[in-house]
Amino acid sequence: MKQGDAVVVLDDLSSGHRENLTGLDVEVIEGDIAMPDIAERATRGANVIFHLAASVGNARSLADPVRDTMTNAVGTLRLLEAARRHGVRKFVYSSSAGIFGELSHPPIREDHPINPQTPYGASKLAGEKLALAYSQQFGLEAICLRYFNVYGRNQRYDAYGNVIPIFMKWINDGSPLRIYGDGLQTRDFVNVADVVQANCRAANAHGVWGAFNIASATSVTINELAALMLKLAGKDLPIEHVVPRPGDVRHSLADISAARAAFGYEPRVSLDQGLATYVDWATA
């Protein structure tokens, strides 16, 4: 986005933190995107909407599937309706690799079979399909960015959240790191700086709509991740292997060639670099 754009932030602060916006010249609206009046207020006068609001994670959705669907599906529909009424040009939707379910042949392209295995994956797919339907019917340019495992500065501990802040909390507490299963499952971690890059490039890609993988196009086992984080933190803590969780995929690795071709996305932050920055922030 061009420097000097007016920015409105809508957040119910259920997982976000207002202090993350300290020093930024933005208007903040506190509210639920599933409420029509809130969506209407936030989108009025907008040219681009970055829709990042979500109830995130397979485990959280299994614990409360109704809330998951209200936020991820109904909330998305509320924003799309408001966007249509106000003539918004671009709708950048934060989708998820969770829509694919178990991956049959990584690295995966966007045309990999879609078979979500949790309410989270299903609700994110519903939001994606709604956004693309609005593109076809109402001329709204919707780009759905299928994030893989996002991590980075300001990402705080959440029992249902990403493994990296969970490991970081245990490291700071001096507790054993618990790994579900044998730890040989792989994940494609993408730094938040690269996700920001993808969003900005997508917003400025005129005439482009559709769904695109956003990832690092590299993978690491959870065992390797734990070892790297302990090394960066200078800690020697035990690792415990526990029973695998339902809904977790075994392997994850993305093909990002479509995003590269469509709007020039190119990941720039390696896992070693990104984790070093994150560990420094989390231990400060």
Q: All domains of the chain, ordered by start, with CATH?
A: 8-283 (3.40.50.720)
Structure tokens at 186: 């792989």
Residue 201 · residue 267 · CB < 8 Å: no
Token pair of 266 as six digits: 């190119």
- Whether 134 sits among the annotated catalytic residues: the reply is no
Q: Are 132 and 95 in contact (CB under 8 A)?
A: no
Task: Kindly report the length of the chain.
Answer: 284
- Which of 93, 120, 265, 278 is an active site residue? 120
Confidence of residue 282 (pLDDT cuts 50, 70, 90): very high
Rounded to 5 degrees, what angle do the CA atoms 240, 245, 248 make? 115
pLDDT in tens, 134-189: 999 998 999 999 999 999 999 998 766 789 999 999 999 999 999 999 999 999 99
What's the average model confidence in pLDDT over 101-110?
89
pTM for this model (two decimals): 0.93
- What tens digit of pLDDT does each residue of 249-260 get? 899 999 999 999
Burial of 200 (0-12, 13-18, 19+ CB in 10 A): middle
Decide if 245 contacts 180 (C-beta within 8 A): yes
Average pLDDT (108-128) is 94
Work out the number of other CB atoms within 10 angstroms of the CB of residue 1. Answer: 13
Cα 123 from Cα 65, distance rounded (Å): 9
**Torsion sign (Cα): 149, 150, 155, 158:** negative
Upstream peptide bond of 246 is cis (omega within 30 degrees of 0): no
Q: According to the model, what pLDDT value does residue 3 have? A: 67
- What's the burial of 8, exposed, middle or buried (CB within 10 Å: 0-12/13-18/19+)? middle
The neighbour count for residue 6, using CB atoms within 10 Å, is 10
Angle between helix 36-43 and 75-86 (nearest 10):
40
